[in-house]
Amino acid sequence: KIQDALNKKGKSLKGAKILILGVAYKKDVDDARESPALAIMDLLKKKGATLLYHDPFIPVLPSFRKYQYNLKSSSLTKGLLHRMDAAVVVTDHSQVDYGWVAKHASLVIDTRNATKHLTRWKKKIVKA
């Protein structure tokens, strides 16, 4: 879905700048072990995407047995969203304003239905 959504915008996954929103294994927790975000990030990285993440509960994403990241959570700013080719909602934390994200991102791929009420920005949102 991410690759298809980028292609529709004329962008390849290889070289794309992607912001992962939420890396915890479930909403509003501070544990990334067994998180689906890890596998998604690994696949995107292998396909040549540049990745950043934002998670208010996980300030540092450590290395795990299977995945080597050592990344720090990026501050969620207008500037960051403008620089990204896509923002992917993987964990729908309550602290994130998804309307604000959709307003400032060029593309939002929503895997958690966090944007279901955002009719104003629906042209920028892809359900995955």
Would you state the pLDDT for residue 7?
A: 95
Per-residue model confidence (pLDDT) at position 48: 97
Instruction: Say if strands 50-54 and 60-61 run parallel, antiparallel, or are unpaired.
Output: unpaired
Q: How much is the average pLDDT of 104-123?
A: 95
- pLDDT value at position 69? 77
The total number of structural domains that make up the chain: 1
CATH number for the domain that contains residue 106:
3.40.50.720
Q: How far apart are CA 69 and CA 80, in angstroms?
A: 20
Could you read off the pLDDT of 22-70 as tens digits, one per residue?
999 999 999 998 899 999 999 999 999 999 999 999 999 987 777 777 7
**pLDDT score for 111:** 97
Tell me the whole-structure pTM to 2 decimals: 0.94
Q: Kindly report the CA angle at 6 between 90 and 86, in degrees rounded to 5?
A: 45
Write down the residue that tokens 């955002």 correspond to: 118
Q: Which domain holds residue 107?
A: 2-127
DSSP string, 24-72: SSSTT-S--TT-HHHHHHHHHHHTT-EEEEE-TT-SEE---SS----EE
- Mean pLDDT over the full length of the chain: 95
